[in-house]
Every structure is written in C-alpha cells, then in structure tokens.
Structure 1
C-alpha cells in the first residue's frame, strides 16, 4: 500500500495548470455547462490532493495508485455514483493528457467504472401533476410566472437549467414552439401545447413587466429582481407548491421532466420521439423510461383484465 500523507485543508494547495488547460479545451470544443466543468474540476482536484499526499503528481500517477484511491473512497463510504463520476472525470482527463503527449501511458485505461444499479427516475401521477400545476395563485406576479414555468416545463420536458435560461427570442407562441439550447450547445425545437401557450401568454401580459420593474431584459422568466433565476431558486419554488398541494413524492429538480417522458410513453408515444424531445443524444438514456411505462401497463392489466 502506498504511504499517504494527506494535505490538510489549511495547507496551501495550487492545482496543476494542466487541469485548467483541460477544462478550457472542454469548454471551447464541447460547450459543456458550468456545472459540468465544475464537477470535473472538483473530481480531479480532490484526486490530485490525495495523490500529492502520496508523493505523486498528476502526470506520475499509476494504475495502482488510482485503484488505491478508489479503495479508500469505498472504505470511507462514498456512493458508487460519486465514484463512477470520478472515474469518468479521470478517464477524460488522462485521455486528454495522452493525446497531448503529456503522458506515455494512460493509468486509468484498464480500470472499470463501478457498476450502478439501474434506478428508475422518480415521477408524478397525472393527478399529482394537475394538483401541482393548479397550485400557484395567478393574482401574484411571482406565482403567475411560476405557473407559466410549470406548465411549460411539463409540456416540453426541458431540463430546469434550460428552462430558467430561456430568452424571449427562443419562444414562438404563434407557432407554439420553443427553441432549446441543450447540452453541448445542441439546439432542438420542442412543441409547447395549447395550455402552456395560454399560460405563457397570460404571464407575459399580466406579470413579466411587474417583475422586470421597467428594466430591459431578454430573460423570459426573470426573478423578482429582474435577473435570470437560478435553477436552485426554481427548485425551491417547486417544493413550495408540492408542499401546498399535499404531494408526498420525493421530488427532484427533474421530476416534471420525468413525468413528461413517462406520461407520453404511457399514452403511446414513440420512444424515439421522446428521445428527440428530451434532447438525449443516445437512445439508451431514454430507454429507462420504458421500464416505468411497462410497470404502469402491468398495473393497468392486473387491475382491469378479467384474468389479471
């Protein structure tokens, strides 16, 4: 086992400049979000601090050292999902170093990512969605905005980050479409539906101007200070309405996105259509929803079939 002398939080630590070069290339070539780049930085820097304590720089790391680090995380009770993300971050980082000839051997090439249980996403019943969407008070400018956001979110399956960053020019109410810039700066057109169009139209007339307080902004759903809302703020708004509506499901920021996909499949939508609407580059990412739909079909069969 490699001798390890951990760097204490109070000790000076400057990350290797190679990490910044790597992240700059990801940003310019891949168009990854700030959250994704931050996750890469966190993973690699945590590993670097550990490696430095063992007497290794990032370019000197061996396969054995990485395995020891993963073993240490396991004994410390880190979740498999966290370690899987770490392996993915290191795999991409060391692939970058290999391509740019900063290392001769990829130390993580032979290391497999921890196996993860296939977890079905939490969703809401159609009745719960109705209750949630009917909870905001339209007499309040903030809740009128939230109502429009919730309707749009459920109608389109957008990611919360995509929703809060929407601008006026991305929306076409006449055509009933929203142009979404998703992961990797990929654009997709998503239909809104009549109810979402009506709610957004009402919000634009009744509430947006009051929220902006005569400020000029292209943000479709500004905060009470007239600026772009954070995804965390909207997440707290969702939890508020769920509490008021008496919804006990364990919600996540993507709950309405999951409900959008699940309910479409339950009503007969094609999986590839759902894939395009969600903006998934790989169909396998969308296929997890088929398990949800199949479970619902099985339940309906047992409840209604005479021999179920």
Structure 2
C-alpha cells in the first residue's frame, strides 16, 4: 500500500470517529475491513492499491463468498470499502468507481429471535432474590426488557440518566442521537431497589457514576451483560442460546403483538429509518400464523 492510500485510511478513521461520532466498536470494524482488503491486495499482487478497478473489487467479493461468510457480513464489508473510497476520492482524488459499481448481496430472510411472554415470566421468577447480585441482575433484565435499548446503551448509562419520578431514561444511541424512553412500574421498582440497596453495597468504595456495575464495583461491560444474561437463562432452565439483542427483539415484538404502532416502536428503538423496524412485522405475522394454526379447528 502506498503512502497516499495509507494516509487516506488513517484520516478516514479519524473522520468517522471525530466528525461522524461513530462508536469505538464501529470504528474498529471499519479498521478491520480496510486492513483485510489491503492484505488481499498484497496477497494478490495487485498494484499499489490506488487504481483499483471493478474486476479487482469483484475478485475480492468472490474471495469473501469462498470463505462462506454470511451475506450480511459481505454487504457490510462492501459498505465499509465504498465509504472509504468515497472519502479517499473527495480528500485525495483516489478513484472510487470500482466499489460504487458493486452490488450488495441479496439479504437473507432471517427473523429476529425473541422470548415469548411466558419465557420472560419464567426468567424473572427464576432469578428473583434478595442478594445484591440478584437485585442488580433483576434490575438489568427489567430495564432491557422495558426499554428495548441496546446493550452498549445500557452499559453507557449514568445514574442520573434514569429518572425514577417520571419513569423515563435518557439514552445516547448510535451517532450520538439522544432519546428518552419511558418504562413501567416493574422496571421502576427493580431499579429503585437496586439503587437504594444493591448498588451501594456492590460499589465497595469505587467512585463513578455508571448505573450498572460488576461485582467488583467497576462499570459493567457489554461482555459482562452477556455473561449475566447467560447465567439467568441457565437458572430459568430455558434451552435457548441467548444474545443480548434478543431482549431488544423481544421488546419490539411484544409491543407490536399488543397493538403498538410501527412509528412509535421505531422511535423507542432509536432506528434512523422505518425499514429497520419493519423486520418485526414478519415476526408478528409468523406469531399470528402459529396462533391460528394451533387454535383454528380446521387449520
């Protein structure tokens, strides 16, 4: 890779981090995608990298398919490179035609996984308790289910972001977009109990304002949340492989199943476009189909 392309890659990462306010995780994803592409150029002996033509770009995508990556992953990598070369074209005059001409692979129809209402009740019942850890875990589960926020948004919450008088939480979402999400009395009660007794006991002299903490009193991480949820699912004897986004999917699905309108769910989830929310209509239609097939005498 020549010096101009290397500089373009460095400035691009600074641009998406500082000017576009992308999260550290997203910036790291872009960095890895670029690094992987530049390694491909080197391994294939393709020029200096500045004059990438459509055949070279298409060959790279072919290599991705050969690795049997998911279509969504391939599509993301194409988007990363398209964004980078657009930036490099604007700032450095590097040709970006090759990736502008590439088609994204057709999306796989993959319905989001979610918990049924009975499974959520089982989760809450199995994990109820009076120890500081149980109180914390219940508050965490209640808030995720009550608001549908992303795990990264949950771990970024400060104590002052949760208003227990108005039962509303201030969330900083993707692209530094702020939104306010209401929550019900179950979450409010669990959160109040956690803040009154469990959090002070767990903090162990640590001084910071993060809402959720691990058992050492330091801020809880995304990985820590995943571990907590896995433990809770095991305790409830639910034979499900959980990932934190399942609670976000569950939140959206249950709202739509119970009559919420699409626009309200979009706003609560913090989706920039309605198309991101519409995937849940497929889930609710499937739910209705199963209900019909199980209940109708001549189904």
* TM-score strictly above 0.5: yes
Q: Deviations over 1:221-245 (max 9, x none)?
A: 1112222111111101101111111
The answer (yes or no) to whether the contact 1:160–1:231 under 8 Å persists in 2 is: yes
1:142-153 equivalence runs, <5 A: 142-153=133-144
2:49 and 2:17 map into 1 onto residues whose CA distance is 21
- Paired position in structure 1 for 2:28: 38
Distance in 2 separating the partners of 1:157 and 1:76: 34
How many matched pairs?
Answer: 295
Deviation of 1:305 after TM superposition, in Å, equals 4.3
Shift of 1:300: 2.4
RMSD over aligned Cα atoms: 1.7
* Shift of residue 33, structure 1, vs aligned partner: 0.8
Q: What is the CA–CA distance in structure 1 between the aligned matches of 2:84 and 2:284, rounded to whole Å?
A: 37
The 2-side partners of 1:228 and 1:48 are apart by 36
1:290 equivalent in structure 2: 281
> Residues 100-147 of structure 1, C-alpha deviation per residue, up to 9 Å, x if partnerless?
143144321110111121210011110111111233243321221111
- Among 69, 90, 93, which residue is 1:102 paired with? 93
Of stretches 127-136 and 233-242 in structure 1, the one that deviates more from structure 2 is 127-136
The answer on whether the counterparts of 1:217 and 1:226 sit within 8 Å (CA) in structure 2 is no
Matched with 1:226 is 217
Distance in structure 1 (CA, Å) of the matches to 2:24 and 2:48: 26
Instruction: Spell out the pairing of 1:1-308 with structure 2 (5 A cutoff).
Output: 16-53=6-43, 54-305=45-296, 308=299
The 10-residue stretch of structure 1 (147-156 or 53-62) with the greater mean CA deviation from structure 2: 53-62
Inter-partner Cα distance in structure 1 for 2:238 and 2:260? 26
What is the Cα deviation at residue 29 of structure 1?
2.1
* 1:73 and 1:83 in contact (8 A); partners too: yes
> Are the aligned partners of 1:124 and 1:249 in contact in 2 as well (CA < 8 Å)?
no
Change (3 A) 1:37 1:203: same
Aligned counterpart, 1:4: none
| Displacement over 6 Å in runs of 4+ | none
Contact in 2 for aligned 1:164/1:230 (Cα 8 Å): yes
Counterpart-to-counterpart distance in 1, 2:271 and 2:193: 31
Q: What's the offset of the Cα at 1:295?
A: 1.4
* Greater helix content: 2
| Uncovered stretches (5+) of structure 1, i.e. residues with no partner | 1-6, 8-14
Instruction: Name the TM-score, length of structure 2 as normaliser.
Output: 0.94
Give 1:306 deviation, angstroms.
Answer: 5.2
Q: Deviations over 1:69-96 (max 9, x none)?
A: 1112222333322211110100110111
